[in-house]
Structures are given as C-alpha cells and as structure tokens.
Amino acid sequence: MEQHRIEPGTKVDLSKLDPNDTSGFKGDKADAQAEIAKLVHKLEGLQEILYAEHKHKILIVLQAMDTAGKDGTVRHVFSGVNPSGVYVASFKQPTPEELAHDYLWRIHKMVPGEGEMVIFNRSHYEDVLIVRVHGLVPAKVWKQRYDQINAFEKYLNQNGITILKFYLHIDKDEQKERLQARLDDPSKHWKFQLGDLAERKLWPDYMEAYQDVLNLTSTDWAPWYVVPANHKWYRDLVISNALVQTLEDLKMEYPQDSEDLAGVIVK
C-alpha cells in the first residue's frame, strides 16, 4: 500500500509510473484473488463496526480516466458491505442549481456522517481536471482551487472525516482495448459514447492535469494513492488492503450495551 502513496511535496511523473506494476504482491493472479476475498470479508466486518460505533466517518475518492475501473472497484471491493451506512456519490455535469453555487457546494452535502462510508465516483477534482482541460473557466480560477481543495479537505479531516484518495492509473493502450471491448460487445454499448473518443484525444492534457493534482493535493490529512490499474486484480488488491489497514488503525469497537441484557430471554 505504502509504495503507491504520494508523499506531500513529491514530484509525480505519471509517465514513469508503470500501470502494469504488480510488484507490491509476490504471488500470481489466483493468489491475489484469494487475498482479495479475505480482505473483502474483513472490510465487511470493519464496516459493520464503523456503522455500529457511530463515531468515525470515511470518505473514499476515486478518480481516473474513462475505463480505468471506478465502477468495477466499487462493485468488487465493496461487494460485502452493508448498504446501510455505505453510499456512492457520482458527480456528473453540474445542474443549473449546482452551477448557481460555488463548486464545492454539491460536494460538501454528500460527505459522510458519523458511522458512514461514502465513495465519491469522480469528485470535486473534476473542477481542476475536465474544467481545466476544456477551458470551462479561466486558468486564474482553476489554479486557485488546489489551495481551496486542500483547505476544504483539511476542514473535513479536522471534523472527523478520514479521507483516502485513489487515482486508478491505466495507460492509453489499455484504454483502447477496453473501449474496443465495449464496442465489440452489444451488451456493453450503453457504456460507450462517441464523446469518449474525443476525450481520448486529450490524453496528454489530462495527464498533465492529473500530475498537478497529485503534486499539489496529496497531503498528510488526505493522501493520494496512484494505483496501477492495468491489472484489475491488482487494483482491487491495493485498494481493499488500504481500506482494511485504515479501518483497523482506527481501533474501532462495538458500543457497550446501553441496558443490562444479562438473563434476558426471547420467548
């Protein structure tokens, strides 16, 4: 887990980080899948304690290029959790109401409450990614947002929210294969849009934008993890391991009985 964490002040060059890297695990795919199953089971139990204790708050941010596996991560890593207390927030193109407010307004109202785990499938980082790449606001506006986001996340952390941010790192060739697979399978055509090809042409611009995000917003209170994601099994292994370790470090406990239950019999 730690080898993929971006330490504050680190200069990230995504071209030098291998999306095929699996060096953090010394086994094969079958071994990894067995380990993932164990971690998912642990995560299920830890999330139950999180919800029962009603004390901690967990925010997970998933960012990536199209096809990198944000939905797949949610589907596989969180397959065993109780839907009570776990929510997925997906941030699409802002609505007119959202555009009438500051860009963090729609984000803030979706953060977790006590005992909750919230997964952001895309996030406030779209406002320094797609907004930047497509020139939707002037550069002087989006350049200010790195400091604003750091301050916002620090505020959340100071109010009891544990933040984990994962960038799912694939390369352009892998994206091509995954987009082609969607075209080749009629049951997956709903996942494909012609706009995906237009976005693909902007790959270098997105890589530059992501590098700035990683360089400027990985903090002690909200670290980024660059997860090699060409191999889906390794992606799931890294993220599930990071979540389990983070939750275990919270030293959570089931709440004490509020009433004396000794001798109580259900008839």
Per-block mean pLDDT, blocks of 10 residues, the chain (267 long):
89 95 91 96 96 97 96 93 91 93 97 97 97 96 98 98 98 96 93 91 97 97 97 96 96 85 81
Tokens read off for 118: 């919230």
What's the pLDDT score for residue 82?
85
Cα–Cα distance measured from residue 8 to residue 23, given in angstroms and rounded to the nearest whole number? 23
Report yes or no: 111 and 156 within 8 Å, Cβ to Cβ. Answer: yes
Contacts (Cβ under 8 Å, ≥6 apart) of 73: 62, 166, 168, 235, 236, 239
Report yes or no: 30 and 91 within 8 Å, Cβ to Cβ. Answer: no
Identity of residue 215: N
Alpha helices in the chain (DSSP H): 29-53, 70-77, 96-99, 105-108, 130-133, 139-142, 145-158, 172-184, 194-200, 203-217, 232-249
Mark 147-181 as b/e (b = at least 16 C-beta within 10 Å).
eebbebbeebbeeebbbbbbbbbbbeebbeebbee
What's the pLDDT score for residue 267?
85
Look up the pTM and report it: 0.94
CATH topology of domain 2-249: Rossmann fold (3.40.50)
